[in-house]
Chains A and B, each alone.
Chain A
């Protein structure tokens, strides 16, 4: 069992601090070459403060989990009953639908508003600013209830020449279902925030990039979609996901315009089964946690996609990290077994 010096094996054996005199006599006699100094493992500094803090936090966490599991008040059996009830799932579906539609429409509106705010036209800039100012000032719930009563303000909507003849005329009350009111309200609100996120992203792109694109004679549309936006997305994505997570929770307000989303369903069920209010709230909490987690996972991969070229090497995905950890562990085990 004589191994060449510098083999992987030497790393672990070197953990025992070698005694130079004994090493020369016994170590070599056993067929083991003396360890070169650079192969020795450095003993890490002890950090007792960190250990104490960890212990305290673990105890507190254990207490919390224990309470969560054993406190009768939570009624986990009822939680299990409600968690996948069709009514709850229907509500979840409404939440997802409202979120998805408002996220897409809000982002589209946001991009247009951001372009308006970045435009060279003072009128467009002013309109963009006013919109953002207005919708960031008005509470979302007020916007929603305003829209809910919209048909009282404007009975018909018509498409035609401004101040002139109309080509189409819609009866407002038939057009505005609860779903439409909810999506329009959330989108209007979302667009104001998305506009600022997108504008911030565009501003974060170096001026030299605009100049280089202009100097190459790249058309304006190409410049925005292929040069500026991909770079802006690096800062837009984390901010917009943050915004989206806010949106998921903001959809719980659509209950007030009589749309039964996840939260609304739980509320209704809660008033029918007053004893189940706490488990129903838990059901809602867990579903929102799941939705937020999904967004966070998506965020990681989208961010990674837009990091191309921004960092020299991309951050590893959890899967890649797991694989590396496994390989390292396996080589270490194997090398230990070899000794």
Chain B
């Protein structure tokens, strides 16, 4: 897997962070979801975000690829600010076209797969590279075939999503995200909608990606998986990062009472 991290030539840093979240705030009306998140993710790092429901985990992911616009603060991916452009000291909003191009370099895997039901598995994977003008139809289909083979679905390329099991659909969704050769892939509870016996097949695909050096940010409730795959665990509560560090530290010797409380409930 070529990770293809986009490093802009005009970058002043020698190795820009894969993802940089800087003092991000997000609120809906009076409801504050994110309260000043700072997070730097190195290229190739696997970050697992844990936290009770409503702690802002999904919103954090959605802010990173600009599905949600932060009320304050900003996000950079591969050194490039997302959704905004630096103009002297001020930040200006980018046009939708540019934001779409930026998003196409950030993979996103949804809890509910969100595959396009009217397209076959192959076309689901091949659609984005064609639509964004990166590949011709033939090349895109070839790439899609390879990716589906890689996630173990080489024999189901012609199936429509509804003809596939949940685990298979999620694997197609991962292949779809990979088709754009993203620098970072965000997983929003990728196994929460799956039957227990199907969780393993999806996690093993994610593990392969992690082993291959792709930068991953994973929101999950699978603590065992987090321990196995994560370089770093970030614990979120009330829209703040209350604790972060390597799995052995956060999972086995949590320092913050909220983390201890959460882990005692899920372990």
Contact = CB atoms under 8 A, between A and B. Distances in A.
A226 interface: yes
Q: Which of A214, A230, A306, A312 is most buried by chain B, counting CB atoms within 10 A of its CB?
A: A214
B117 A211 contact: no
Contact of B103 (A216, A220, A309, A310): A216
Nearest to B115: A212
Interface string A197-241: 000000000101101111111111010001100110000000000
B12 interface: no
B163 A211 contact: no
Contacts of B117: 231, 309-310
A208 to B, nearest CB: 4
A159 B110 CA distance: 50
B131 A211 contact: no
Nearest to B101: A217
A311 interface: yes
B131 A222 contact: yes
B114 A218 contact: no
Contacts of B102: 217
A308 B160 contact: yes
Contact of B114 (A209, A217, A219, A222): A209
B67 interface: yes
B114 A208 contact: yes
B131 A309 contact: no
Contact of A212 (B105, B110, B118, B120): B110
Contacts of B127: 216, 218, 226-227
Contacts of B131: 216, 218-219, 222, 226
Interface residues of B, number: 32
A211 B67 contact: yes
Contacts of A216: 103-104, 108, 127-128, 131-132, 176-177, 180
Contacts of B108: 212, 215-216
B78 interface: no
Interface string B156-199: 00001111000000000000110010000000000000000000
A209 B101 CA distance: 18
Contacts of A309: 117-120, 160-162
A206 B127 CA distance: 18
Most chain B Cβ neighbours within 10 Å, of A217, A219, A312 = A217
B96 to A, nearest CB: 7
Nearest to B96: A220
Contacts of A310: 117-118, 162
Contacts of A231: 116-118
Contacts of B100: 214, 217-220
Nearest to B128: A216
B180 A219 contact: no
Contact of B128 (A206, A217, A220, A230): A217
Interface of A: prevailing SS: helix
A26 B116 CA distance: 63
Contacts of B103: 214-217
B97 interface: yes
A233 to B, nearest CB: 9
A219 B110 contact: no
B65 interface: yes
A208 B110 contact: yes
A311 B162 contact: yes
A115 to B, nearest CB: 16
Contacts of A308: 118, 160
A215 B65 contact: yes
Contacts of A215: 65, 67, 103, 106, 108, 110
Contacts of A214: 67, 100, 103
B263 to A, nearest CB: 30
Interface in A297-332: 306, 308-312
B35 interface: no
Interface in B111-147: 112, 114-120, 127-128, 131-132
Nearest to A230: B118
Interface string B219-261: 0000000000000000000000000000000000000000000
Given A211-B110, A231-B117, A309-B161, A219 B97 contact: yes
Nearest to B119: A309
Contacts of B163: 312
A219 B132 CA distance: 7
A217 B96 contact: no
Nearest to A216: B128
A129 to B, nearest CB: 24
Contacts of A209: 114, 116
A308 B119 CA distance: 8
A230 B24 CA distance: 37
A230 B108 CA distance: 23
A209 B162 CA distance: 14
28 contacts: A208-B110, A208-B114, A211-B114, A212-B114, A212-B116, A214-B67, A214-B100, A215-B67, A215-B106, A216-B103, A216-B127, A216-B180, A217-B102, A218-B100, A218-B127, A218-B132, A219-B131, A220-B96, A220-B100, A227-B116, A227-B127, A230-B118, A308-B118, A308-B160, A309-B120, A309-B162, A310-B162, A312-B163
Interface of A: 206, 208-209, 211-220, 222, 226-227, 230-231, 306, 308-312
Given A208-B114, A212-B110, 5 more contacts: A212-B116, A214-B100, A216-B108, A219-B132, A226-B131
Closest 7 interchain pairs by CB?
A217-B104, A212-B114, A309-B160, A215-B108, A208-B114, A217-B103, A216-B128
